[in-house]
Chains A and B, each alone.
Chain A
Amino acid sequence: MSAQKSDPGLYEYQPYRGRRKLVWPEGKTCAVWVAPNLEFYELDPPANPNRKSWPKPHPDVVGYSHRDHANRISHWRMAEMMSRHGFPGSVSLSVALCDHIPEVVADARDRGWEFFSHGIYNTRYSYGMDEAQERAIIEDSIATVERATGQRIRGWLAPALTHTPRTLDLLAEYGLDYTCDLYHDDQPTQINVAKGSLTAIPYSLEVNDHYGFFIYNMSPREYADTLIRQYDRLADEGANSGTVMCIPLHSYLIGQPHRIGAFERVLEHIAGDGRAWITTAGAIVDSFEEQSV
């Protein structure tokens, strides 16, 4: 593995002021995509020397069962609401979910959602993998999602946000089009990779439901207000050059009974505003790449 670099050289510096104008279809100013994380966590996974899977000795009953709420209940609640308001999902998928609970993956596929890989399990981390191991999880992701959904994955969000310095190069080499792992911008960015090309699409930690509820300790209604403010601002600024807003979700959080009602206001607001291009990650990347030629 190459030596650690203090500047990873991911992209060129490009100030917000004076950028060329990105234009979204039909003159929309903000491309909005929803990223449900459809995950499977293991009850008793092997240890990665760089990070513990669970804060508690196994079984971590609350940690595991909270997340299992997603597949039994809250995915269905969240997905139904998204469909009702016309929001497709671009799924950050623990691909082993295709094996364990194919019902959830089939439901997302049948709703016309797009899939990208979020690793095999959210309890297996990339830290410390050699190149062959990392290629194995990328190849596994491509094959598993293709078998389960007929789709070839185009994007990647590292499992539990764990990377190696070669991950982005490998994604481009395998022909993936986008990464959700970089948080430097409100517009897509071309990423420097060894060969091929790769686009960073804005995902978000700051308005991720996990951050909203467990880092910023927001109430459900405060989180809904946060998303609405995020959208309103990006839709305003997008008149100058099209912006991207991602709503990254974990159904076991947003789909809890005290939260899902407040979230519906967000979808109503964005869908009713008129300036939102409500779409998938792949469509945003395509539009960006067409405008980059």
Chain B
Amino acid sequence: MSLDPEYIEYPKRKRGMDHDFYPYSNLFSRPKIAWDDGKELLVWPVISLEYFPMVPNDDPFRAPGHMQTAYPDYRHYTAREYGTRIGIYRLLDAFEKRGIAVSVAMNAALAQRYPQLAADIVSGGHEIIAHSVDMNGTIAGGMDETRESELIAKSFDLLESATGKRPQGWLSIARSQSFNTPRLLVEAGARYMCDWVNDELPYQFDTASGPITNIPLNHELSDRQIINVQQHSMDSYAEQIRDASDWLLEEAAEYGGRMLPLHLTPYISGLPFRIGAFEQLIEELAENARIGFATGEALLDQSQAG
């Protein structure tokens, strides 16, 4: 028995990355970033607002949080709808009472289905990030390019027509892309995407159709990862976010501005028994004069201004 000889050949074994999307870069050797108003740490809340059709199509894969039982899966359909009816408003209130604008990564179908929800997000001064069309709108390697391109365009177009503004950013479902996604996002007019988790500051991604910024939305710090996957309490989540902000503030003093992404899910963090500890966390972060809050667009503008 032996493997194909190709298996111990390494055509891309050379200096730098094994792809052309971005060059290697060490965070600690970059020029320091100075955020507006002298803030040292910018917290970037991103709320994922998701619509799960009760009939999953699994093409190319079934999104996390999707239906699990035989049809009709009322329990998951409605538990996810709890997020778009109740949880989102608890989360928005937690931020709005401190005057904080957040990013909302929204399935475009929700803007059509629930115009009041979209209007409330816009009138609250929040940013909308294009987040596919609905939770059947997943992307993965091998997906037909025309279909992917149409899905991306539809998401941006529907959100633009519902809110009057074309989103500047994109978040893929489960951060899952094909090799074409970054280029198709540039072609759809996106300025940034949030899918790659290899950094802690915005950085440039190159595609055949031009550059796009990746603003890393740390999945390890998401409520889905910590509360749903790792099964920790909201108290533990809040402690972990506090530990992260303490650490990043320490680094900021020496190395320049840092960011702390908070990826939130209304049907997870917006539950009655969790929201109190979450509100308290936001209060504490907001009380700290060294910490500010920013949307993705604001982060992008500030990181490019320097």
Contact = CB atoms under 8 A, between A and B. Distances in A.
B8 to A, nearest CB: 5
B220 interface: yes
B220 A96 contact: no
Interface residues of A, number: 53
Given A72-B25, A217-B231, A258-B241, A61 B2 contact: no
B1 A128 contact: yes
A61 B17 CA distance: 14
Contacts of A102: 15
B248 A257 contact: yes
A221 B231 CA distance: 15
B241 to A, nearest CB: 7
Contact of A62 (B15, B176, B260): B176
B239 A219 contact: yes
A100 B239 contact: no
Contact of B240 (A44, A72, A137, A258): A258
Contact of B141 (A57, A133, A219): A57
B243 interface: yes
A133 B3 contact: yes
A100 B13 contact: yes
Nearest to B219: A62
28 contacts: A1-B1, A43-B18, A43-B19, A44-B19, A46-B7, A48-B3, A56-B140, A61-B172, A61-B176, A62-B197, A66-B198, A66-B220, A69-B197, A69-B199, A72-B26, A73-B199, A102-B15, A103-B24, A103-B26, A128-B1, A132-B2, A133-B2, A217-B229, A217-B230, A217-B231, A256-B218, A258-B243, A258-B247
Interface of B: 1-4, 6-8, 10, 12-19, 24-28, 60-61, 140-142, 172, 174-179, 195-200, 216, 218-221, 229-232, 236, 239-241, 243-248, 251, 260
Interface of A: 1, 40, 42-44, 46, 48-49, 56-59, 61-62, 64-69, 71-73, 76-77, 96, 99-103, 120-121, 124, 128-130, 132-133, 136-137, 213, 217, 219-221, 256-262
